[in-house]
Structures are given as C-alpha cells and as structure tokens.
Amino acid sequence: MIQHDVDLSAANTLGLPATAERLATVTSIAEARQALIEAERHTWPLTVIGGGSNLVLEPWLPGLVVRPALTEHWLEAADGDTVRVHVGAGVNWHQLVVAMAERGLWGIENLALIPGLAGAAPIQNIGAYGVELAEVLEEVHLIERDGARERVLGREECAFGYRDSVFKHALENRVIITRLVLRLSRRPRPRLDYGDLASRVSAAASPSEIVDAVSAVRREKLPDPARLGNAGSFFKNPRVDADQARALLAAFPTMPHFPLPDGGVKLAAGWLIDQCGLKGLRDGHVGVHDRQALVLVHHGGGSAAELLALAERVAAAVERRFGVCLEREPRRFGQARPAGGGKP
C-alpha cells in the first residue's frame, strides 16, 4: 500500500526533516515489483532508502520512496568450510553480524555496529577495520525498474570501489535490492591489523570476541545516532598520489598515511579536519563531533542546507591548508519543498 505525505524525520539517522510524497514499504518480491510497476506507470521519480544511515535528505522527496523490509535470512552449506548466507535487504546489518559470529562464521565480524540494513551495504561497499563487504559478497539480487525484472549481479558486476559501487552510478534509484548472498567461512581468519584492534583481542579470538572489540571501539569514537543525529563518517578518506603524499609528509611529518597497492596513499580525513581546528565546532543546529572530526552532527532543529553548508566549510578549510579535496560519503536525495507543500 502506498502512503502519501509521510514524515521521514525518524527514517534518517541525521534526524533531518523530510517528507516523502509517497512511500511504499515492501515486504516481498511481489510488493517490490508492484511498487516499481506503479512508479514506471506514473513516471514517478524513485528513491530507495533502507535504514537511512548514510543519507542526507532534503525536505521534499517527490515521486515514490521505497523502503525494502524483506527480513529473512538463511544459511546454505557450500564447499568445504564455506557457508553461503542469504540475507534479505531489510535485515538489520549489525544483528546479522552478531548472529553469524555466534555461529562461528568468519568474514564480517570487523563490520560490526555499522548502522543500517543489509540492502544498503553493497551500495556503499561498507568497510571498517581493514575489511570491505566486497571481500565476502557473492551475489546481489535485485529488481530493475525497467520492466520490473528480477536480476542477479555477481561481485564483478557490482563494480565495487572504495565506498563505491554501480548502485551509486548507473543503477542509482533504478533498482530495488532484495537480497544479498555472502560467502562466509567456518575456518578462523581474524583480521586484526587495523588500528588498535590487535591490542584488544588475542590472535586466537573468536568472531564474537572481535565483534565485541570492534563495537567497543566504535562506541568510544562515534556518537549514537539515537542520541545525536549523524550519518557516521561524512567524508571519504582521500587518496593522493605518491608525489603529493611525499610533499605533505615533508610539511606534516606526523600525518597518518596508508600506502595503497596502486602506489597511491590514503590519508585520514578526520586528522586533516582536526588539524584545521574544527573538531567540536558548532555552527547553529549542526556541528563537527568533539571526539571524531570525520563525523558531522545534527543537534536538532536544523536542515539539510545547514549541514551541507557546514560540510562545504570543512572541505574548504582542508583544501586551503593541505591542498586535498574531501568527498562527501552520504548520498543526498530530495529537493526543497514546493510552495504550499504540494507537488512541484
């Protein structure tokens, strides 16, 4: 059933005021197909949102907003120590990570406490503590807007990159993701070489112990969206070439940097922002978090315009000081609300 003029303020973790002209919450393949058929029939703009954890919503989302709520998951034995895990797009990601760890399955334990639903995970190619979703994802099941056809994409077809995928480009708001297939392992393979994770757990740690350690680190550094509106990391960690990295390190010898296989260097966006003196800044209803400068926060009563203006201010400060461009991580959807609150 399609609802009209639906408040989405509680449907995005930034808590920004937003209204969907129409909203369909789909709990099955059939409902998802019907939503796409209606959108195509009426030529409605389509926006697909999950848990709203990596979005900046403008006040008005015209057309049809779809929220997948397919919440089943099941395990399928594969070869040897491998287990294929089928995950509905509406499954809570962190709860899935905990459940798989409790079963002794390895592969996604470092991705604990990432907010949102499973269906959004491949869009962003979520990653944390040295692990990316692309390493364990085998298939993405989806329905295309064009003809409401079901389709399965393999890992290569998803065109995964750093916090990037085909779902942010050619397929953005052209499909509804309905299910993921992950390939996990019963064989221990802890990844503890990122940050201070190795100091918190032993090399013989179980998946559940790693989940607990990662969750503890994230809680120490990142604000809880239920208490303070935020979308997690607001900027991607920038990548520069080797020459620019050498020049920056000559000027800033303590700058955190991470060499990449292609010869480039990844920098820590949070450190760059902190060095500009912006950590803890409050600008009206929005600000920079006081413990993690990579996180922009909404204190309440603000708007997407205020938040994006702050983001531009932060990015400009970093570019002036370091000559490095920051790229926004959350996707931006919607527009200004039309006069009178109705259709544009």
The amino acid present at 103, given as its one-letter code, is R
- Tell me, rounded to whole angstroms, the distance of Cα 106 from its chain centroid: 21
The amino acid present at 4, given as its one-letter code, is H
* DSSP H/E element including 100: helix 93-102
H helices of the chain, in order, are 29-41, 93-102, 121-124, 197-200, 207-221, 242-251, 269-275, 304-322
* Separation CA 75–CA 60 (nearest Å): 40
Q: What secondary structure, in 3-state letters, does 113-168 show?
A: CCCCEHHHHHHHCCEECCEEHHHCEEEEEEEECHHHCEEEEECHHHCCECCECHHH
Of 58, 44, 49, the residue nearest 11 (C-alpha): 49
Query: What are the beta bridge partners of residue 10?
Result: none
* Separation CA 129–CA 132 (nearest Å): 9
Of 248, 237, 246, the residue nearest 194 (C-alpha): 237
Q: Which residues are catalytic?
A: 163, 233, 329
